[in-house]
Homo-oligomer: A and B are copies of this chain.
Amino acid sequence: MENSNIVIDMDQAYDESIEKIYDLLEEKKYFRCRDELLKHNEVEIAEMLVDIRRKFDLQRMVVLFRALPKDVAVDVFAELSTDDRLDIIDIITDPELKYILDELDFDDMIDVLEELPSNIVNKILDKTPKSERKLINTFLKYKEDSAGSLMTPDYINLSKNNTVREALDHIKDVGLDSETIYTCYVLDMGRKLIGVVSLKSLVISPDNTLVADIMHDDPVVAHVDDDQEEVSELFTRFGYLAIPVVDNEFRLVGIVTVDDILDVIEEETTEDIERMGGVIDTQDREYLDMSVFQHVRARLPWLFLLMCSYFITGGILQTFEDAMSAVIALVIYMPMLMGTGGNSGSQSSTLVIRGMATGELELRDFIKVMWKEIRVGVIVGICLSILNYFRIVYLDHNPPLVALTVCVSMILIVIIAKLIGSMLPMLAKKIGIDPALMAGPMMASITDMISLCTYFIMAGLFLHI
């Protein structure tokens, strides 16, 4: 602490430092750069290295990374993104890589190994003690984005017959290498999980209490094959710091900690939001780090597909070409009806998708949701129609029958769009597609089509064209 009497704005301190580093790098003063970096913690150093790569190049980033003291380098490495890690690994020497891998937390090491080409992994595993190699191989086999791929085997295990004193002594011995010591796990002889005990209970209980007496014997667990989204739901729901992961025989195979879950939540939210916005998975890459072509690849497929869906819309319009020529005024209200339909639908899908993501809405609520959307649609549709009627008749001076056509279409379109917007994500979930994919652009195209059909069918009815 700089012993200042005022709160230092962290962002400001960061900005000042990075500007200084840029200047020093221009003058090639690497050692002073390193000293400036070392004023910050590992998270900030990692962020600074990324900034340096963007501003200058990979080389300069790696030079500075290698200039860091070894223990700091390991912590910084753990904070970097996949791409940055791979770039660094490409350049550093084998002994440097070996050192980093040895010192990383087990779950971070597995992350790195998963990213490396298999020949490099094999080279590394050759130099690893046999027992650890076996463990690594087991972990490498878990599906990506499963609880198994998130967890670490570095947990503290206790016996239910331990006293509190024995437990604390054990923690003192092995605690340094554990991912967390705040929740300890009680296993039976067959490594089955029979309870959890918090370090808090241990610290505040008398020394001779038995672990069995203070352990919680019906813990919330995740299964190795559970998807990471389910695991993060458990954390949000129960607010724990760590959750044990068990296999089919209820044997404890690892634990997932809350700090890793914060990253998972960010990743999953980004994926959801991107899908709702019609962007194909950016693989957690940052906007500025993606090349123009990576951006094109993430966007073109959806745009292309959706554009093709408008070929159908165009076809529908073509069949109504005569109607449009007869009453060109109809065309004027087309964008409004399509737009309002799209917006109504996206409101409904937003609410339903979010409800499903936070675990509130289930598939069994299908009918309830449908019924609610119909009632909301009727009210909203009528409100919007009333305004429209007056506008069309008194401001645009169009015949009342045209106004009636628009207004009745509006009510129907809002109701239908709300139904589609809410049902589509639920149906998607039912057949195992991510609901977020079905919202946004996809839903907009479908409602556009239906809006147009509804509109021209109403025109046919009311205007006899």
- From B302, B336, B383, A310 is in contact (CB under 8 Å) with B336
Asked whether A351 and B277 contact (CB < 8 A) given A175-B200, A236-B262, A332-B318, the answer is yes
Q: A270-321: which residues lie under 8 A (CB-CB) from chain B?
A: 270, 272-274, 276-279, 282, 286-288, 292-293, 295-296, 299-300, 302-304, 306-307, 310-311, 313-314, 317-318, 321
Chain B nearest CB from A52 CB (Å) reads: 15
**Chain A facing B: main interface SS:** helix
Stretch binding the partner chain, chosen from A89-97, A125-133, A367-375: A367-375
In the bound assembly, the distance between CA atoms of A300 and B379 in angstroms comes to 9
Sort chain A's interface into a size bin: 35 or more
Asked whether A346 and B235 contact (CB < 8 A) given A314-B336, A380-B296, the answer is no
In the bound assembly, the distance between CA atoms of A331 and B360 in angstroms comes to 43
Q: Are A351 and B182 in contact (CB under 8 A)?
A: no
Stretch binding the partner chain, chosen from A24-32, A136-144, A218-226, A427-435: A218-226
Q: Are B1 and A218 in contact (CB under 8 A)?
A: yes
How many monomers of this chain does the complex have?
2
Q: Are B317 and A332 in contact (CB under 8 A)?
A: yes
Is A209 an interface residue, CB under 8 A from the partner? no
Digitize A242-268: 1 where CB-to-B-CB distance is under 8 Å, 0 elsewhere: 000010111000000011001101100
Chain B nearest CB from A67 CB (Å) reads: 21
Asked whether A376 and B295 contact (CB < 8 A) given A7-B223, A302-B347, the answer is yes
Q: Are B288 and A368 in contact (CB under 8 A)?
A: yes
Q: Which residues of B contact A12 (CB under 8 A)?
A: none
In the bound assembly, the distance between CA atoms of A360 and B266 in angstroms comes to 12
Asked whether A343 and B295 contact (CB < 8 A) given A238-B43, A288-B365, A311-B336, the answer is no
Q: Which residues of B contact A460 (CB under 8 A)?
A: none
Asked whether A236 and B266 contact (CB < 8 A) given A171-B203, A295-B376, A380-B296, the answer is yes
- From B282, B307, B318, B352, A384 is in contact (CB under 8 Å) with B307
Chain B nearest CB from A159 CB (Å) reads: 16
Q: Which residues of B contact A239 (CB under 8 A)?
A: 43, 259, 262
Q: Which residues of B contact A288 (CB under 8 A)?
A: 355, 360-361, 365, 368-369, 372
Q: Which residues of B contact A270 (CB under 8 A)?
A: 354, 358
Q: Are B248 and A346 in contact (CB under 8 A)?
A: no
Q: Are B277 and A346 in contact (CB under 8 A)?
A: yes
Name the CB-closest residue of B to A421. Answer: B277
Is A135 an interface residue, CB under 8 A from the partner? no
Q: Which residues of B contact A6 (CB under 8 A)?
A: 248-250
Is A148 an interface residue, CB under 8 A from the partner? no
Q: Which residues of B contact A318 (CB under 8 A)?
A: 332, 396
In the bound assembly, the distance between CA atoms of A286 and B356 in angstroms comes to 11
Q: Are B350 and A277 in contact (CB under 8 A)?
A: yes
Q: Which residues of B contact A354 (CB under 8 A)?
A: 270, 273-274
Chain B nearest CB from A441 CB (Å) reads: 5
Q: Are B339 and A306 in contact (CB under 8 A)?
A: yes
Measuring CB to CB, which residues of chain A are less than 8 angstroms from any residue of chain B? 1, 4-7, 10, 41, 43, 168, 171-172, 175-176, 181-182, 194-195, 199-200, 203-204, 217-221, 223, 235-241, 246, 248-250, 258-259, 262-263, 265-266, 269-270, 272-274, 276-279, 282, 286-288, 292-293, 295-296, 299-300, 302-304, 306-307, 310-311, 313-314, 317-318, 321, 324-325, 328, 331-336, 338-340, 342-344, 346-347, 349-355, 358, 360-361, 365, 368-369, 372, 375-376, 379-380, 383-384, 387-388, 391, 396, 414, 439-441, 444-445, 448, 452
Seed contacts A168-B203, A346-B441; 8 additional CB < 8 Å A-B pairs: A7-B246, A41-B238, A175-B204, A296-B379, A304-B384, A307-B336, A310-B339, A314-B335
Query: Can you list 15 residue pairs at the A/B interface with Cβ under 8 Å?
Result: A1-B218, A6-B250, A168-B203, A182-B199, A239-B262, A273-B273, A273-B276, A287-B355, A299-B344, A300-B380, A307-B339, A313-B339, A334-B334, A339-B445, A343-B444
